[in-house]
Structure 1
């Protein structure tokens, strides 16, 4: 996997956390730097771990699906990307918009936004990737994007978050197409 593909994947996987952080920041009013850093650390840590869990599950199943692994990777990336795009067009949930400062709520939100990273981790098991490098890149991108999202939440609001979610979904679908194309041409 090329550095560009890893960067696109990391940004695409971080968009859910960015959107949650923007909503959280908007709900808190003036997000303090400490609160933004805490949010970034929690989101980044969870987003680092979940692709590795998915990758481990994919490696365990790899020998059973080796002949169709590229189709699985494409399907999963398209599914996650399509879900992100569909969520962008959904109406915002009032409860999601309400902010809660508790660590439990923060961790639950981080896990909820990282399920797609676990699914992508499964698809990465079928490719020749350094999962630690990819997971750390996703975690770092998530840390940066969610920390900045908390701070910028009050200024940019939900409108830009929807655009970012659509762009992230399209990036994942494009990455899936690139994987399929490179596999079919090889």
Structure 2
């Protein structure tokens, strides 16, 4: 089964995928450079060297993305089982690494239910950093005309997060019906529900 962004196991899969892609990007300009040397009898001053140098730009960009992904610790199988068993039919998004110019934050799990976006990070984070990322998510959603109550729990609040999942699951129909009253389909995803649109917006701001 193909693992997409937002699925459990995405980080682990991306580490391998981005490594292979980066190696391929570096091998291509290297091949051009070697061909140039062979055709020009060891003289590096040729068009193939220029092509190889330009080709290193996307390779270096790919390397940056690969390094950022390899620095991430994936969600544990035990944590996934614990959260998914409590989530029930809630729309869940897993392993999102949110990045901003000021701060970054890895969200192990995020529930999207009506006007509520509830996330959990299995790290101990400063309260002000959680508030910063909550506001970042709210601003991003507001920019696309979707309001949301955003709450992020860290590992010291794990019990509270699981209890919030229970509340969302038990009142899922009520919350989603209220949010859908004024829902207008998103022009980029006209066939998606409100929950699914919010999920795509969250994935768009994640690595």
TM exceeds 0.5?
A: no
Q: Which of the pair is proportionally richer in helix?
A: 1
TM-score bracket, normalised by the shorter chain, equals under 0.3
Bigger Rg, which one: 2
TM-score of the aligned structures, taking structure 2 as reference length: 0.25
TM-score scaled to structure 1, two decimals?
Answer: 0.27
Q: Choose between structure 1 and 2 for higher RCO, CA contacts under 8 A separated by at least 6 residues.
A: 1
